[in-house]
Amino acid sequence: MKLGCSRTSRPQRRSRPALLHSRRLIGQTRSDALHEAKGVASPFRVIALLTEEGRVFERAEIEARFSRRATEIGGITLILFAPVKKIAAPLGWSFYDTFRYSAAVVAHT
């Protein structure tokens, strides 16, 4: 018996979906292009920016706190930004790197 060999066939590759192209004009912001493309009926605005620092294993708790806070202040949407490494742990301890988690709370105007 060979190790690392599979008795099943390889899964078929899926073809890539077609990329969406937007009709962005010079001076038009990304949100303007999204409004135009999606036909959004009501405008929105960012009503709060939330930030918190934590480690990788705390991410779910931080995002849950962001969600509760957004609901408390009347937000309809929570936009989570990618975490940014703030403090690097010593070599071999990367699990304990500290990250800054950020989110924007959006509401209808």
Domains, the chain, ordered by start: 42-108 (3.30.1660)
CA pair distance 103, 64, nearest whole angstrom: 11
Do residues 106 and 76 touch, judged by C-beta distance below 8 A? yes
Could you report the average pLDDT of every consecutive run of 10 residues in the chain (109 residues)? 48 47 48 56 86 94 95 92 91 89 91
pLDDT number for residue 20: 42
pLDDT number for residue 31: 56
Is the entire prediction scored with pTM above 0.75?
no
pLDDT number for residue 33: 52
Residue 50: Cβ-neighbour burial (10 angstroms; 0-12, 13-18, 19+):
buried
Q: How far is CA 25 from CA 12, 16, 28, 41, in A?
A: 39, 27, 5, 20
